[in-house]
Chains A and B, each alone.
Chain A
Amino acid sequence: MIITELFKAEIINLILLSFSLGITLPLIGVFTVLRKEALLSDALAHVILLGIALSIIFKINVLLGIFAFSILAGLAIYLVKNKSQLGLDAVVGVFFTTALTLGALLISSEELLESFLGNLEKITRPDVIISTILAAVLIFALFYKFKEFASASFAPDLAQVDGLKVQRYELFFMLMLALAVAMGIKLVGTLLISALIIVPAATAKIFTIQLRTMAVWSVIFGVAAVFAGLTATLYWGTPPGPTIILSGSGLFFLVLIGHLLLKKRN
């Protein structure tokens, strides 16, 4: 009886996480590809590593540390990028390496590995609830304001002349990316979270010619990767981050090979 209840709870967690992470992160990924800012999520994830280290040292709630550092990092990258002459690559490079170094120095090697690769056992019921609520808000905002985010990302000058507050949308996007990265970090890990943002969008980009279909297929590949990865983790005890990402990469190569074969045949 107890085992059945536990199993049911795990299945519910699995479904909620598959949908909340599998939809939100790849949908954000469509815009990071559109903006040519795929490395941004990597920088945010590694700043979060520093947040995890400091949360452990000062014994504060790790999830709180993750969200606080992610949002602060997002704001800092946005400000430095807009106020300095540095390009995004340089800004991301500085944040990425500094935070990674500090995080690695402050955290024990066991916790470091866990932070890198994620740990399903550390996901609590409140984590799942927070992720689900946050995902619902982000998905609604991304879907409803898709046109504005796409305009500001694709041709910002035209969007601004058309009356769109482009800088405001850039800031919103950065904060949404920070929240999405923070949301998935405990499960997927700091090393691999950006893959869940980029790989489904890259898979969809192989064969789609419309932005709308790319977004829809990104979400389908994202949910499939998280669901397959988590199921394997539950049954075989593999670390969740690498299993999810391998599921996503597997889909990527399957789609790529299928696409190339079809192209050859036609």
Chain B
Amino acid sequence: MKLISVDNLSVSFGAKPILKDISFDIEMGDILAIIGPNGAGKTVLVRTILGLNKTFTGQVVWHTRPETSYVPQKISFEKNFPLTVKEFFLLELGQGNSFWFPSAKSLTEIKSKLTEVRAEHLLNFRLCDLSQGEMQRILIARSLLENPQIVFFDEPASGIDIGTEETVYTLLHSLHKKNNLTMVLISHEINIVYRFATKVICLNKEMICQGTPQEVLTADSLQNVFGRHAGIYKHGHGLNIHDHN
């Protein structure tokens, strides 16, 4: 079932073209990976689909309005601001005065999501005291509150150490299997994309390729996306990209 259709989407910031004539569909249950070099327009594409960027031509059609979540690369806030992880989660949960007087159910849900990303010990820490990796885990856990049907991840494992990165992707994959969670993820991790994605689009301001990872992640297409020095090698767990330079 089609969830989102993107038709001839183009974005320019001033005279600078960011995206040109992008078209693709997102189906219910897809794990769509968006790959491309820095400056390819991946984040802008996701923000445009989410309605956070209003200056574009073409169409973004949401066929239904599912519960949606977003994990940005980072959020910026005032240094030393007193907001704990628990409060950050409470901003998302409940109605009315639930922020002041959270229910036991809300607190249980918060703890359970934190446990899923191995961050339960961070509950009462201030957000501004967290490392980049811890913050990323908090953002992922927050995105899973209230059981979303589609989640957009902008490099979900950036700043996370290798062991935890594996945990994050395994968690996302299990959620996908259990709840048929639709995921759109921007990633530089070709290996992860190869293992987990059901669909890939390669972007470098325009659409370079799209299809299943097996169809798309070839040496030729990756060189088209990342430049002629890029190559891939196979190993026991999948694929990795490397640079010949």
- Alpha-carbon gap, A205 to B69, bound state (A): 30
Residue of B nearest to A205 (CB): B82
A164 to chain B, nearest CB (A): 10
B77:A146 contact, CB within 8 angstroms: no
- A213 and chain B: residue at smallest CB distance: B82
Contacts of A158 in B (CB 8 A): 70, 72, 75, 92, 142
* Contact call A210/B80, Cβ cutoff below 8 A: no
Contacts of B52 on A, CB cut-off 8 Å?
A: 157, 160-161
A208 beta carbon closer than 8 Å to chain B: yes
Proximity string of chain A (115-152) to chain B, C-beta cutoff 8 Å, 1 when within and 0 when not: 00000000000000000000000000001101100110
Q: State which of A36, A151, A161 has its C-beta within 8 Å of the C-beta of B50.
A: A161
Contact with A along B62-82 (1 / 0, CB 8 A): 000000111010010110111
- Bound-state CA distance A144–B96 (Å) is 6
- A143–B97 touching, CB < 8 Å: yes
Closest A residue to B93 by CB, please name it. A147
Does A253 reach chain B (CB closer than 8 Å)?
no
Chain B hits for A147, CB < 8 A? 90-91, 94, 98-99
Do B84 and A210 touch across chains, with their CB atoms under 8 A apart? yes
Say whether A210 contacts B69, CB under 8 Å.
Answer: no
Q: Is the CB of A212 within 8 A of B75?
A: no
Contacts of A160 in B (CB 8 A): 50-52
Cβ-defined contact, A212 with B91, below 8 A: no
Give chain B residues whose Cβ lies under 8 Å from the Cβ of A157.
47, 52, 70, 72, 75
Question: In the complex the two chains form, is B100's CB within 8 Å of A211's CB?
Answer: no
Shortest Cβ distance from residue A33 to the other chain B in the assembled complex, whole angstroms? 7
Is B83 on the interface with A (CB-CB < 8 A)? yes
Q: Are A212 and B78 in contact (CB under 8 A)?
A: no
The answer to whether A208 touches B82, judged by C-beta atoms less than 8 angstroms apart, is yes
Question: When A144-B96, A146-B99 are in contact, do A211 and B78 touch as well, CB less than 8 Å?
Answer: no
Q: B87 at the A/B interface (Cβ < 8 Å)?
A: yes
Please measure, in the bound complex, the distance between the C-alpha atom of A30 and the C-alpha atom of B49, giving whole angstroms. Answer: 33
- Chain A: number of interface residues, binned into ranges: 20 to 34
CB of A43 within 8 A of chain B?
no
Give every chain A residue within 8 A of B77 (Cβ-Cβ).
Answer: 34, 154-155
CB-based nearest A residue for B86: A210
- Whether A212 contacts B87 by the Cβ 8 Å rule is yes
A residues 179-205 near B (Cβ < 8 Å) are 205
Which residues of chain A (48-92) have a CB below 8 Å from chain B?
Answer: none
Closest Cβ neighbor of A159 among chain B residues: B91
Task: Name the distance in Å between B225's Cβ and chain A's nearest Cβ.
Answer: 27
Selected from B80, B82, B152, the residue in CB contact (under 8 A) with A211 is B82
Knowing A33-B78, A34-B78 touch, does A154 contact B91 (C-beta < 8 A)?
yes
- CB-CB < 8 A to A261: which residues of B? none
Q: Could you tell me the distance between the alpha carbons of A234 and B1 in the complex, rounded to whole angstroms?
A: 72
If A144-B97, A157-B72 touch, does A205 touch B51 (CB 8 Å cutoff)? no
In the assembled complex, the CB of B106 is this many whole angstroms from the nearest CB of chain A, namely 12
Q: Which residues of A contact B51 (CB under 8 A)?
A: 160-161
Q: Kindly state the separation between the CA atoms of A36 and B142 in the bound complex, as whole angstroms.
A: 24
- Residue B173 at the chain A interface, CB threshold 8 Å: no
Chain A residues with CB below 8 A from B72, complex form? 157-158
Q: Does B111 sit within 8 A of A, measured CB to CB? A: no
B70 & A212 in contact (Cβ 8 Å cutoff): no
A219 to chain B, nearest CB (A): 13
Residue from the list B82, B91, B96, B98 in contact with A210, Cβ < 8 A: B82
Task: Assess the B97–A210 pair: CB atoms within 8 A.
Answer: no
Q: Which of B50, B75, B90 contacts A155 (CB 8 A)?
A: B75
A2 at the binding interface (Cβ < 8 Å): no
Cα of A151 to Cα of B80 in the assembled complex, Å = 17
Can you report 18 A-B residue pairs in the complex whose CB atoms are below 8 A from each other? A33-B78, A34-B78, A34-B81, A36-B78, A144-B96, A146-B100, A147-B91, A151-B91, A155-B77, A157-B70, A157-B72, A157-B75, A161-B152, A162-B68, A208-B82, A209-B124, A211-B83, A212-B100
Identify 17 new A-B residue pairs, CB closer than 8 A, beyond the known A34-B78, A147-B98, A211-B83: A144-B97, A146-B100, A154-B75, A155-B77, A157-B47, A157-B52, A157-B72, A158-B92, A159-B91, A160-B52, A161-B51, A161-B152, A162-B68, A205-B82, A208-B82, A209-B124, A209-B126
Q: Which residues of A contact B (CB under 8 A)?
A: 33-34, 36, 143-144, 146-147, 150-151, 154-155, 157-162, 205, 208-214
